[in-house]
């Protein structure tokens, strides 16, 4: 699977605002301030949107978020998306620690993140607007 990443501008983000993504806490990935974040789209060789990446500089680390489009979720494409996600993080922040948090129920994504060198740091429970969710924090150095 050939994937391409492109940095998104504010207009492009607004066009995606109705989309729903399936990883981590990204039911609202596109509602965050564009001035404090960098957003990237991940598209396949046909130009279809596969994922959105958000990178936030928190001074001593980069908080990275990944939203996978539901139409490709559970179709074995996640491993390619996670590989592209890591490449994008390292490309833009080569000497920085990358931190990502995902729902513990996202076992497939967790497996692919660990295969790409992300290390489990801790679990925690958080109350979201609709439910109590267990999250996992991983790091890549």
| Tokens matching residue 2 | 């050939």
Q: Is the pTM of this model over 0.75?
A: yes
pLDDT, position 36: 72
How far apart CA 67 and CA 51 sit, in angstroms, is 5
Nearest to 21 by CA among 39, 34, 9, 2: 39
Q: How many domains does the chain have?
A: 1
Minimum mean pLDDT range among 6-10, 57-61, 92-96, 136-140:
6-10
Whole-number pLDDT of residue 24: 44
Point out which residues pair with 139 in neighbouring strands.
99, 119
Classify each residue of 11-44 as buried b or exposed e, where b means 16 or more C-beta atoms within 10 Å of its C-beta. Answer: eebeebeeeebbbbbbeebbeeeeeebbbbbbbb
Mean pLDDT of all residues in 76-105: 88
Look at 89 and 37; give whichever has higher pLDDT.
89
Domain boundaries, position 11: 4-140
Please report the beta strands in the chain, taking only residues with DSSP state E, as ranges in sequence order.
4-7, 38-43, 49-57, 62-68, 98-103, 119-127, 132-140
Residue 122, classified by CB atoms within 10 Å of its CB into exposed (0-12), middle (13-18) or buried (19+), is: exposed
Total length of the chain: 141
Q: What is the pLDDT of residues 28-52, one digit of tens each?
A: 555 556 667 888 888 888 888 888 8
- Mean pLDDT to the nearest integer, 84-91: 90
Q: Is it the case that residue 27 has pLDDT exceeding 80?
A: no
Residue-wise pLDDT for 104-134, tens only, equals: 888 888 998 999 999 999 999 988 778 898 9
Q: State mean pLDDT over 86-93.
A: 90
We report the CATH number of the domain holding residue 34 as 3.40.630.30
């Amino acid at each position: 699977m050939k994937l391409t990443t492109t940095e998104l501008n504010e207009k492009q983000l607004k066009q995606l605002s109705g989309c729903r993504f399936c990883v981590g806490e990204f039911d609202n990935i596109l509602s965050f301030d564009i001035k404090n974040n960098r957003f990237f789209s991940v598209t396949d060789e046909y130009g279809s949107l596969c994922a959105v990446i958000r990178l936030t500089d928190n001074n001593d680390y980069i908080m990275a978020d990944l939203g996978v489009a539901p139409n490709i979720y559970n179709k074995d494409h996640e491993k390619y998306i996670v590989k592209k996600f890591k490449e994008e993080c390292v490309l833009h922040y080569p000497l920085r620690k990358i931190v990502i948090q995902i729902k513990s129920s996202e076992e497939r994504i967790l497996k692919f993140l660990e295969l790409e060198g992300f290390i489990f740091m801790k679990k925690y429970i958080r109350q979201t607007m609709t439910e109590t969710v267990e999250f996992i924090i991983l790091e890549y150095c």
